Chain A
Amino acid sequence: MADNKAALKTFREEVAAWMAENVPADPGFLLPLTFLEVGTEQQLDFLREWQHKLWSAGYLGMHWPTEYGGQGADPAYQYVVDKELSRHNAPIIFNTIGLNWVGPLLLDMGTDEEKAKYVKKILSAEEIWCQGFSEPDHGSDLGAVQTRAVREGDEYVVNGSKIWTTLGNYADHMILLARTNPEAERKYDGLSFFLSPMKVAGIEAHPIRKVTGEYGFNQTFFTDARIPASCLMGEEGGGWRVAMKTLEYERGVTAGQASGHWGVTIQIDDMMNDLRGLQHDGEALLSDPIVRDDLVGFMMEAKALSLSARRMAVPALNTDYPMGLALSVKYRGTEYERRMKQYTASKQGARSALYVGDADAVRGGFWQRAYFSNFGATIGGGTTQVQANIIAEHVLGLPK
């Protein structure tokens, strides 16, 4: 244990030195706050090169097996790297759907062939992944997916449409949930899970503009698109189980993600530093008793989140609701961040009304953009309201 601690400390120093040398300087154009907002070729090329550089240095997917591009290290090492990335304000590691959902899923449930084919290229950023779960009429209600996949010889023919396809217009592959049997007695048993190519005839991704003004999302249309039957992951009709496992990785319920640095880290310290200099009603904003009380509230929330994350590792303090803390991470964390960002964006007097692009905006409109961007977190991966149902039903045992 002590050895491990010393080794990690040495490693941290090594990583910090590498970052000081290698974290790219501000490229002079707007970089996305999260992987959900990669909207230009310029951003894509920049982020792809950066991810490749980090991986080449041995600092990405460190706890993944060496045969698939990892380092076979303890997860604590990747955690150190992620911390340092955040501390050095490094650009995000953007191939998140591959790195954090598909990669761990394949390592967990994939065949050797699937692992060999896909995993390393996820780490190297050679291949980009997107996710085809939600549909225009079925966002949170995944069991109702309607996109059809019909087996014809060695192929499946896919028709339908997926939406909110992050990175869809750049992606090489999609994890696709489609209906192979509309007659199945239970709607879940009619679903299959595919590792589908994106660059084939009949698949088109149309970018969607977001509330932030940026792109990153797509609506993906499948029109008689033919994908190889070998893309099926698991059994036909067994897609629901694979999709649920994917969501565990997406929601952070199960560990194994290659990098936690999928978004710009925004913390209490950032909020405090940006609010400190502001004036309000003729005095320092931070001397207003109501503001002070609000800030105490945010600090308590931040601390409760961190403490609870640590408490998960103390089994004797998790006996009443064993999965409760893990299953509520997303519910608590994303909502806290949304409110914290909205608060900061709205305490800037008349400058609160300025947005990215205005020279007078506080920190370039960072908070306004961050607030809007945060809805990606409270909606994506199952909305806050769906998360509340999950906690109610799976943690507290309340009826559906």
Chain B
Amino acid sequence: MFSYPQNLAISLTEEQGMLLDVARGFVRDQAPIEAVRAELETETGYDAGIWQRMVDMGWTGISLPDEVGGAGMGVGSAVPVFEALGGGLLGTPLLSTTIAGQLIWRAAGEQAADWLGRLCEGQIGTVAFLDHADWGVPNTGVALDAAGSLSGGKHFVADAGVADIFVVVANENGSPVLALVERSALTPEAVSANVLIDLTKRAANVDFTGVTPAYVVRGEAVTSALRDTLLLAALLTAAETTGAAGRCLSSIIEYLKTRKQFGKLIGSYQALKHPTVDIYVGMENARSFVYHGATIVGDETLSADAEVACRMAKVAADEVMVYAGDRAVQFHGGFGFTWECDSTLFIRRAQWAQQMFGDAIHHRKRLAALLLDNHNSG
């Protein structure tokens, strides 16, 4: 008999609840949408003062253990923070830095304590994952040669313009390794910025040819660390996207409650009302998956349940955000089509987020294998 594996754990620790409140308050008070807009076309995309305050609150160390200078709260505790940041469409390199920290910690543990300590203290980290555009196959085209030198370039490296530490996913004699590269090892010409669809985010192509990494992580753990980090990155991105979907929903509601046409508030028309309800329901679904993920992921190698949770979270968040962003522009009418309308930011965030760490089709294909193929017997 088929039996659908149902891990339905969902909870929030007191600490996580406080993080959610604090992060939402921070976004509301210190990074309102006007502040986010002011950074859209700057080089880094964020305000250095805001970033420093995030570092001061310890957010770069939430997911890392005490031994390396972190808060030891577990990676699930970053979820409320990312949901809140998404709710303000606040960019900053926190996502890149958190993901870099997870990858280094999972692959090297305390051996890389110095590097992890630097991230906890606020240095910016990023993982150079892709050397082509496909999240679904290994990206180890960059080689580390016998002399300890890298060759090749990476694409779409998040926050490469400001990163202090690059974690380069490379291959050494056919095995995946992590090459940790200092910013100082790169020439300015090696980094060329991408033009991203989401103006609150930044990425660049980086040529690592001829660069000697400061530290190399080798061994079996690299493969599983890469797998788990991509799943966690999908979960954290889903948290951020869910926050953005919630904010997008509020902006739609606000407009539907104030805009009149044909003598009526447009929110009274069911053609607008019912899709808005579906955005709401989709956002709540995504939120349930995201916090389910937050509840069951830990420092250990991710379980099959955790993998299912991360992938479902990403799918649910992507699907609702793409729908919400799209409808936000449409429902705001002519104004929605303008740069001034925040729907512009939401639809761009949606299109950015949906591909990060694998799009919905990528995750759904893997969910099919996880959910349908392991129960063929009996």
Spell out A's residues near B (CB within 8 Å).
Answer: 267-269, 272-273, 276, 286, 289, 292-293, 295-297, 299-304, 306-308, 310-311, 314, 316-317, 320-321, 324-325, 328, 331-332, 385, 388-389, 391-392, 395-400
Spell out B's residues near A (CB within 8 Å).
Answer: 1-4, 6, 8, 10-12, 17, 20, 246, 249, 253, 256-257, 264-265, 267-268, 270, 273-274, 276-277, 280-281, 284-285, 287-289, 291-292, 312, 315-316, 361, 364-365, 367-368, 371-372, 375-376
Instruction: State whether B10 touches A304 (Cβ < 8 A).
Output: no
CB-CB < 8 A to A385: which residues of B? 270, 274
Chain A binding surface, main DSSP class: helix
CB-CB < 8 A to A389: which residues of B? 270, 273
Instruction: Give CA–CA (A307, B10) in the complex, Å.
Output: 7
CB-CB < 8 A to A304: which residues of B? 285, 288-289, 316
Instruction: Give CA–CA (A292, B376) in the complex, Å.
Output: 14
Q: Contact check: which of B281, B288, B289 meets A331 at CB < 8 Å?
A: B281
Chain B binding surface, main DSSP class: helix
Instruction: Give CA–CA (A108, B1) in the complex, Å.
Output: 42
Instruction: State whether B8 touches A306 (Cβ < 8 A).
Output: yes
Q: Contact check: which of A269, A310, A331, A396 meets B2 at CB < 8 Å?
A: A269
CB-CB < 8 A to A276: which residues of B? 2, 376
What's the A-B contact tally at a CB cutoff of 8 Å?
Answer: 129
CB-CB < 8 A to A311: which residues of B? 10, 287-288, 291
* Chain B nearest Cβ from A338, distance in angstroms: 15
Nearest CB in chain A to that of B315: its residue: A300
From known contacts A299-B371, A303-B312, infer whether A321 and B280 are also in contact, taking CB-CB under 8 Å: yes
From known contacts A272-B4, A308-B285, A314-B10, infer whether A300 and B267 are also in contact, taking CB-CB under 8 Å: no
Instruction: Give CA–CA (A301, B264) in the complex, Å.
Output: 35
Instruction: State whether B6 touches A398 (Cβ < 8 A).
Output: no
Interface centre among A286, A325, A328, A388 (most CB of B within 10 A): A388
Instruction: State whether A397 touches B253 (Cβ < 8 A).
Output: yes
A-B contact pairs, 25 of them (CB 8 A): A272-B4, A289-B368, A295-B368, A297-B364, A299-B367, A300-B367, A301-B285, A303-B8, A304-B316, A306-B6, A310-B8, A314-B11, A317-B10, A325-B284, A328-B277, A331-B277, A388-B273, A389-B273, A391-B280, A391-B281, A392-B267, A392-B273, A392-B277, A396-B253, A397-B253
Shortest 10 CB-CB contacts between residues of A and residues of B: A307-B288, A272-B2, A304-B285, A398-B267, A292-B368, A316-B17, A392-B273, A399-B265, A399-B268, A308-B288
